[in-house]
Amino acid sequence: MKKRPIISVIIPNYKSNDVLESCLKSISNQTLDKDEFEVFVMDDSANTEDGSYETSKKYGAFWIKGQRERCKNKNLGAELARGDFVYFVDQDMVFTKNVLKEAIQKINKNSLITIPEISFGKGFWTKCKIFERSMYIGNHISQLARIYPKEIFLKSGGFDDAVLGIEDMDLFHRVLEQNPKIKVIEIKSQVYHDEGELKFTQIIRRMRFIGASFNEYKKRYPQVVKRQMSFSKYKNGLPKFLMHPFLTYGFFIMKITEGLSVIIASKKPENQITQY
């Protein structure tokens, strides 16, 4: 009889078969025994023409036709999960080989796991995003949990579409508030995040999308927002700023633009975009 998996990997997907295959391939190459994890691809496409269904089956993942809303799809994935722990993954992530094995060695029923993310891609603004993410490792203000005990996740209420775009931050801080004794553990194994070729207009569009949820998020976590909006969280990055002046210039332009885009969009919620 096949034993129940320890951890369930949940991947929301929308017409992204080009990056989904790299993600699933990296998961299938994990050093953790295959009977100790399972993978759900929660697809909110209107059809399967992009090949995501075939790719999911190729790598042994469960392909689930979900709704046109990623919060509901991720919550459904957690409900279907048989593992004791649920790991929420973006479809454009690529795992190093020991991620799952190290995660289940470190996690317990009263802890959350954060995983260092290293961005990659092409173009100047992508390099600026890579530069930014390099400062998040070990920083729980910006680095969020990806793996939760299933019981704690379900009790928390899961992802909330009232804060769509920043639902992962909302979940993380809600779980911390509900479980004050819970530990946050960062593993050493990394995942790589495919940013593609990030355009400046994409940065603005993404922040406008987040802006629709910003007021609600700020109302829930005012002190967290103060820390997240402050440049003081990058104080440990001073040596990097000095070593890379050109990227530093781009970084500050990018962060100021992001902040202004969120603030402006939050003041005009009736004009918000629904996708980015």
Contacts of 112 (CB under 8 A, 6+ apart): 145, 147, 148, 149, 172, 175, 182, 183, 184, 185
The CATH fold assigned to 7-198 is Spore Coat Polysaccharide Biosynthesis Protein SpsA; Chain A (3.90.550)
* Domain range annotation of the chain: 7-198
Residue type, 156: S
Model pTM above 0.75 = yes
* Closest of 134, 137, 88 to residue 112, by C-alpha: 88
In the chain, count H helices and then E strands. Answer: 11, 10
Where b means 16+ CB within 10 Å and e means fewer, 45-57 reads: beeeebebbebbe
Q: What is the pLDDT of residue 273?
A: 47
* Closest of 52, 48, 44 to residue 19, by C-alpha: 52
Q: What does the pLDDT profile of the chain (276 residues) look like in tens digits? A: 567 899 999 999 988 888 999 999 999 999 999 999 999 999 986 566 778 999 999 999 999 987 778 899 999 999 999 999 999 999 999 999 999 999 999 999 999 999 999 888 999 999 999 898 888 776 655 578 999 999 999 999 999 999 998 999 999 999 999 999 999 999 999 999 998 898 999 989 988 888 888 889 999 999 988 888 777 677 777 888 889 999 999 999 999 999 888 888 888 655 454 554
Tokens of 22: 């790299």
Distance, CA of 119 to CA of 167 (rounded, Å): 20
| Spatial contact of 37 and 6, defined as CB atoms under 8 Å apart | yes
Residue type, 114: T
CB atoms inside a 10 Å sphere around CB 82:
11
